[in-house]
Chain A
Amino acid sequence: MSESLIVTLSLIILFLPLTGFTLTILLGKKVPKIYYTELLFISLAMILSVVIAFFKLGTYADKTIISSFNWINMGFISQGLNKYIELGIQIDNLTVIMLVMVNIISMLVHFYSIEYMHGDKKYTRYFAYLGIFTFSMLGIVLTHNILMMYIFWELVGLSSYLLIGFWYEKPSAADASKKAFLVNRVGDVGMFLGILMLFMTYGTFTFDDIYHQISMGVIPFNSGFWLTVTGILLFMGAVGKSAQFPLHVWLPDAMEGPTPVSALIHAATMVAAGVYLLIRIFVMLTADAMLVIAVIGAFTSFLAATIALTQNDIKKVLAYSTVSQLGYMVMAIGVGAYAFAFFHLITHAFFKACLFLGSGSVIHAMHHEQDIQNMGGLRKKLPFTYFTFLIASLTISGIPLTAGFLSKDGLLAGTLAFGSLTGHWLIPAAGFGVALLTAFYMFRLVILTFHGKPRDEDRFEHAHESPKLMVIPLVVLAVLSLFFWYTPNPLGADQGWFLSKWVVTPQTVTPEFTRWNFMQLEHAPKAGEHVIHSNMYMEAIHHAHYPAMILSLIMAGLGIFTAFLFYQWKKVNTDKLAAAIKPLYLFSFNKWYIDEFYNGVIVKALLVLTRVFAWFDTKVVDGIVNGVATLVRWVSIGGKYFDTYVVDGFVNFTAFISGLFGIILRKAQTGKVQTYIVFVVFSIIILLILL
């Protein structure tokens, strides 16, 4: 298979779901069955992606295939040279692995939804939305430049908005979709600014060109600080999309969407896009930026794990678990465990999709009951669901023989190594603490849902195992959560094909003074050598491998044991315990009051601000305009009075004076002839006297 064929096939994979979307949305009203094309296309895309993954990972394992064309002419940037924005795809090992992962889960969710969404009045449109989502997600995976990634980034935001708000008749769903989009936008603005910084400095959006220039020593404003800032700004995009603190609040609310959507978008693929972004920009992150990322990741995973402990909605628990696991991945990037972050992204996608689809199966069986306090004993009624859910829970807890054990172990080893090299011990501490919490809350969920006696007999009686179309995806995902897909050795993935051949940590391109000292090269790369493994950090991870494994096993075991102690064997009365530590319990149950803070402070403040501005606009700005108008009218009224009373008044005054004289003189005008004669006579006499 030639390179150009791989490119062509990737493009076909990319546009298949878009075609499905277009056909379904345009013809859906006339031909409701049109959604079969969407199903057909996604299956085709899945098969094609497996095919190209096979060839890429086999034949071209060390090669990055890039194909691009000029999309937009931006005009002159400098010296009369036209600048172009490129559209292009970049196919490396990560891309094809992501392609396979996204397409498999998307396809399984499509088929699962056929049953799950059955009877919904917007059934056809639902598949259309899944189509546009898959298209956008594949776009993020395939792109070779940061602007295009931003474009698809926003498009997944749109599809997520549409799918969370799918049941928009529910005000909570409408609220949640709006919240998701807006919270993401906040992160996106940061990312956009980061992109602007990159373009300003490098004049290109393409990853390769940017990294090449950084390795040549070109950095924003010639300062390591601004390179760090750029990295953190780009990371803000990931904070939004991957639901990291402080922008994690949208993800639990996003559970208002249909459950298969939660599995696909809000567990497996879209939320992992943030981590994927970090993986793509990993080589340009400075030590400071990485530390920020590690701290945010560690804090998020801890925060979400503590909240997950006390939630009673089955999907909410899984949502917080997702946030916590995403925090893990982000933390892994921050500590430099690049390959393990990616590894965990993939394994998490499978087991968390399995968990969500399993929860969907439970909800389906329980007639849309989501509260685990009303469940229990479902093991007997839903054997397949229970079994797959259990496997996935073991995977997330990190029990050997599962893929989750491998990725989590490697990831924790990375934090341990980081701690030993830098002295930031809080990060591994958080990592292992979260491992304990994760095992505990997952098994709390399993036990409360499936074990024990049914707490709602009525619903329990009517519960039944889901149809085949829903069970098969569960089984497939459970199987994909096992270790043998990634490595032959169930205790360590280092030597497996996934980590040794497919995913290799690239060398950072940042200037030396901005790197961790342990990331220095030990020797210059030889000609033809693609990747350099030999640095202190890799060594340290290697050393940390066994301690981390043992420690994480202890933590997982302890967590599971406690969960059984609390909920299966009931040795501890949980209600009493909760009452004993009431403030802590409430703090966790109310999600650290972060939503309250946002709604009560930030949203309120914004609304007040908008009202102030609107008031300012109508009363002050427009007030001035109207005031000027009024003033002009006053002046004109004044003018009127001036005209009436002064100008015209003068004229009338003259007339008045004449009139007055007239009135006086009229007295002499008697009309009597004799009076006149008297006047004549007297006048003559006076004249004579005077003369």
Chain B
Amino acid sequence: MPDLSRRRFLKITASALAAAGVAGKLGGAVVDRVEKVARSGIRKIPTLCDLCFWKCGAIAYVRDGQLWKIEGNPADPLSRGRLCPRGTGGVGAHYDPDRLRAPLIRVSQRGEEKWQEVTWDEALDYIAQRMQRIKAEHGPESMALFAHGIGGNFFRHTFKAYGSPNIAAPSFAQCRGPRDVGFNLTFGDEVGSPERTDIANADCLVLIGTHLGENMHNTQVQEFATAVGRGASIIVVDPRFSVAASKAKYYLPIKPGTDLALLLAWMHVIVKEGLYDRDYVAKYGFGFEQFAAALETATPEWAFPETGIDPETIRATAREMARYRPATLVHPGRHVNWYGNDAQRSRAVALLNALLGSWGRRGGMYVPVGFDVPGYPHPPYPKPGRGPVDNPGKKYPFASEALTTGIRDATLTGQPYPIKGWFVYATNLLNSLPDQAATIRALQQLDLVVVVDVIPSEIAGWADVVLPESVYLERYDDLSTNLFREPFLGLRQPVVESPQDQKPNWWIARRLAGKLGLEAFFPWKDIEEYLEYRLKAAGHSLAEIKREGIIPGAPKPIYFEDGAPAEFGTPSGKIEFYSTQLQKAGFDPVPRYTPPEAGPPGAFRLLFGRAPVHSFSRTQTNPILADLMSENAVWVNAVAARRLGLKSGDYVRLRHQDGVISNRVRVKATERIRPDCVYMVHGFGHTSRGLRRAYLKGASDAQMMSRYRTDPLMGGTGMNVNFVTLESEA
């Protein structure tokens, strides 16, 4: 129950005193003492969490001037007042002793992690000088920016002002890109982040590889628990018996790489038995007959030997899904870069949802709504002399965002034109891009490598200049506007000061712009002026959002039946069961299955996923989160482990089929995984010596991703195509 906060009470008292006419020196002295008292005691400051990209609304508690704890902001629609374990452990990001402290310039070879501490001006001058040289010798297009999250907004702005079109984030080609392309081809719209999944109202939830509960996107897990509590029918398809699988009515231990066969067989059953939403398909669908014809051969009997799932189970689960439609949600997943056919597989997921009529319907996928906030006016960006370098000749015709691996290719080959500099913000490219060796080779081709980060990540180890950013608790960021069930605005604001010489992203981007002669693009004098302008233009104020943390907008309908617009941005203006776009581009207009490549005999396919207490490879030095999980383990089927003479707690090294050997990692011998694959949580096995707490703890899956399959539609990098054997450490 919210009681009158001490600060507010004291403020009221102070202003009351002033108002009562006790003005002048006496009043001033009283107010001073009152303010000093307010600094002791407990202060609650709303902000946005930054431990992952969900941006939950949080309230940070400061007790006697020290950061104490963080709780959820009850006004936030994403967190509903409860944070996930990473958010709860967020104070550790501020207290992390392994944090970057000051700007660094390397004093030896790239990758040797030998630095000299410098001032901000020295570091930024170094960078600006080299960026100007690249601009002069090759053109500004030869400078690429990799930036992830809203903290990258100001860097994107600086780069566009500088004149480079090469701005990418790994979230497309390495994470959710195929899904958004597959759904775009079907519905004419993306799934988005946060996903537009109405899990809380689903009566049947189908999870294909999505391991909610271990994958800890807060709202999704909260809604998943609601669905479980309501007794929703849950179907889990996963080679590993995940936490979600343990709550499922049906668990399908599918052979890795064969999900598309299962999806096609499900759709075959639903079409053949007439279980689909006829009205919905008739009203909104295009090309249904050709689609149905293409599914003729995709019988459950055909899918059985491919997937290992018996035909009766396939029929039973298909009927179960149909039973609850349209409140049946086949979850689109998030990280879907698996086998190189991922856009088509995601399209199959979209098609299955379309058959069940769940798109735009309650319990399926709602139509998200957002808050429009005008930007801060600035001069128009210069037009780049050349187009982006990542997808030359539109080799991947359906890529809707820049391809990080495409930029890397251009860096390595110099085609279509050379890339001479990388500026990296908040993404550990060595862990996010597959084929670490290629990334390192690319880094060695560059004239300039700049990394902005909060911890000395592996990519920072390869930089020429490392710039330490303040963690989220110490800075403002650009406004957070999400597309979600209801419109709202969120503000990230500082709670405590940076302990050393760290600076926020807006300050760095602005200062760098100044050094590049681009001051005109930053006409505001500080971030508060920038935010105030934008908020005022939207009818609100900085003071208001600083106080509440979240500004809700007026609710709008999110289901078709309530009036949300049933519009589909496809060529036909309808849901494309048959895609003429794909057909014209030479791809399968209806997804077609090809079996995955087998690995070498005796080797295990390496699968990876998430743990609820960590985010990627960026939290392993957070003292609180590291305490909750300090190393990962390799999950091996119990029988397979026994045959290898391994038991839980033994240490092994993974040997990749191409020869790379991992750091030692603990074995988890378990009945919870198929015998043909092994599984690890991503983000461990750190090799950066500056990450003292996490150094060489556990093994790195990213190190093992030396092979990948590129999706021909959109350039995504499927990474579940690596095979390993286990070598005992004993």
Q: A and B bound?
A: no
Which residue numbers of A lie inside 8 Å of B, CB to CB?
A: none
